[in-house]
Structure 1
Amino acid sequence: MSAEIPCAACGWTSELQNACRYDSHVKLFYGLADRGVWSLGSKFILKERSNQPHNFEAKNLRFLKEHTTIPVPAVVEDWDEPNGQNFSIMRRIPGDPLSAVWATMSAVERENIAKQTAGYLFQLGQLQSSRLQSVDGQPLYSAFLFPDGYGIPHGPLRSGDELWAEMEIALKNVPEKARQQLRKRLPPAAPYTFTHGNLANVNIMVMNGNVTGILDWEASGYFPVWWQYTCARIGLDQEDYEWKTLLTKYMPSYESGREFWLDFYALSKYPYLNERGGSALGKNSVFLDSGGHGFKF
């Protein structure tokens, strides 16, 4: 008989577990790609992930603790291992993810959570920089604003022209005329504003009708002033879309930025364009779909 393969997370086999009365209260409760999140009893969370791209979450959380009253996890310790892994231990935020209770909440309760969250985002809006960057002058990472590949650093950037030069990398195959027309629509990026970047319902912690915490600040930084509103409208599923639609009702509106980005992101898929991408490119142009067939917008 072949030996049982130990658990990749804890290293134990079922034989070892059955031979021991110990029941661990260290539990892996989330894993995705190269990262995992563990509960350490009832009070602490341990995060492990690759440090490529660089992880600025601990720096961001300490920065927010100092400059805002936003309820964010307190960092107990963070460090990089020689093998390229980043670890951080944080205090657990009480409550449940909004995603877990959304379906059972009343309309009034949902509105209250949206208003509270928007109030905390107002505090973020007061945190501004002279450059587009992460804290301590580090580059930005965003696969939505810079859809030229995962984990690619951008910046620091000092102007709208530099921002466009980085964004335009994702449009390298788009006809020049379409790129020029889109460039004219780029809204002013200043003031460069500290932005969460992922206000999904899984990252909003609630308890007794109140927001108890906002999680997942690893990709936050100083982005264009219109980016908070724009990325807050990217729904991951139907409930998340409902949440973000409600949330943005109470946020300063940057609809021109959102419309610009929607066209930009659609064009970044060239030549495999959806209806929006075709409209942004211009009518009466023929391109090839994924099957090599010509189609017209």
Structure 2
Amino acid sequence: MDRIPGVVLDDVWRDMSLDDKIAIAAQLKGYFDQLRAIPPPKSPSICSVTGGPIICSRLHAHMEWCGPYRDEEHLNTQLRRRRPVEDFDPVVQASQKLAHPLVFTHNDFAPRNVMVIMETQVGWKVTGIIDWECAGWLPSYWEYCKAVNWNALNASCGLWDWEGWIPKIIEPFELEAKADLKLVPFPRYHVP
């Protein structure tokens, strides 16, 4: 395994010009578009890239309690902590009535996981996206919700404008993001 050249985007984002940020966002969008173009497995199972449990703090800190899930409904039941959808805010009800295709998802997208380098003639360039241990097959809204509601609030708190760039990189799912906030705190019990 080789080390990806460059610095973590977290360390340089604040100092980038608007043009630099536009260029980085466009490059990242291109990479995420490529990820979304990877055909999903035939199974509707929501799982890691190996078909096993998903590593995701949004679900639970213990890997064995993070699936795999049979399908999106099974995942939704986990997110609601087994409570009926009717017990939740209408935004949660509306969101969980929708069917989302499974897409290949990094599942921990944040500036701390993006490597960039300054090239004299080109400007800032993405050299890699790192930390793929959380990757898997998840509903199409998942990456956006996690990036906006979870990762934008964590290590990158000092990057006050970062959250506004996420919809330029990842397809936005505003309804699902609002519903996600209604489901906080994240569930503590696995649905068998």
Q: Which TM-score tier does this pair reach, normalised by the shorter chain?
A: 0.7 to 0.9
Task: Indicate the percent of aligned positions where both proteins have the same amino acid.
Answer: 30
User: Does residue 1:165 correspond to 2:77, yes or no?
Assistant: yes
2:106 corresponds, among 192, 196, 199, to: 196
Q: Counterparts of 1:64-143 in structure 2 under 5 Å?
A: 90-127=1-38, 128-129=40-41, 130=43, 131-143=45-57
Following TM superposition, by how much is the alpha carbon of 1:157 offset from its aligned partner in structure 2, in angstroms? 2.2
Kindly tell me: are residues 245 and 141 of structure 1, through their superposed partners in 2, closer, same or farther at Cα, counting changes over 3 Å?
A: same
8 A Cα contact 1:141 1:153, kept in partner = no
Q: Distance in 2 between matches of 1:153 and 1:91?
A: 32
- 1:241–1:153 Cα change, 3 Å: farther
Query: 1:206 maps to what in 2?
Result: 116
Greater helix fraction, Structure 1 or Structure 2 = 2
Shift of 1:189: 4.5
Identify the residue that residue 134 of structure 2 maps to in structure 1. Answer: 219
Q: Secondary structure at the match of 2:54?
A: coil
Which residue does 1:282 correspond to in 2?
none
- Displacement of 1:104 after TM fit? 1.9
Closer, same or farther in 2 for the Cα pair 1:164/1:109, shift >3 Å?
A: same
The SS at the match of 1:120 is helix
What is the CA RMSD across the aligned residues, in angstroms?
2.6
Aligned ranges for residues 271-282 of structure 1 at < 5 Å? none
1:114 and 1:137 map into 2 onto residues whose CA distance is 30
Q: Secondary structure at the match of 1:265?
A: coil
- Where do 5+ consecutive residues of structure 2 fail to align? 119-123
| Counterpart for residue 174 of structure 2 | 255
User: How many residues end up aligned between the 2 structures?
Assistant: 175
Q: Distance in 2 between matches of 1:191 and 1:109?
A: 32
TM-score, length basis structure 2: 0.78
| Structure that is richer in strand per residue | 1
User: TM (normalized to structure 1)?
Assistant: 0.53
Task: Note closer, same or farther for the CA distance 1:101–1:176 as it changes in structure 2 (3 Å cut).
Answer: closer
Q: What are the Cα deviations for residues 216-252 of structure 1, in whole angstroms up to 9, with x where unaligned?
A: 1111101111011111213123344522421322432
Given candidates 255, 258, 265, the residue that maps to 2:184 is 265
Structure of greater relative contact order (alpha carbons < 8 Å, 6+ residues apart): 2
**Matching residue within 157, 162, 165 for 1:246:** 165
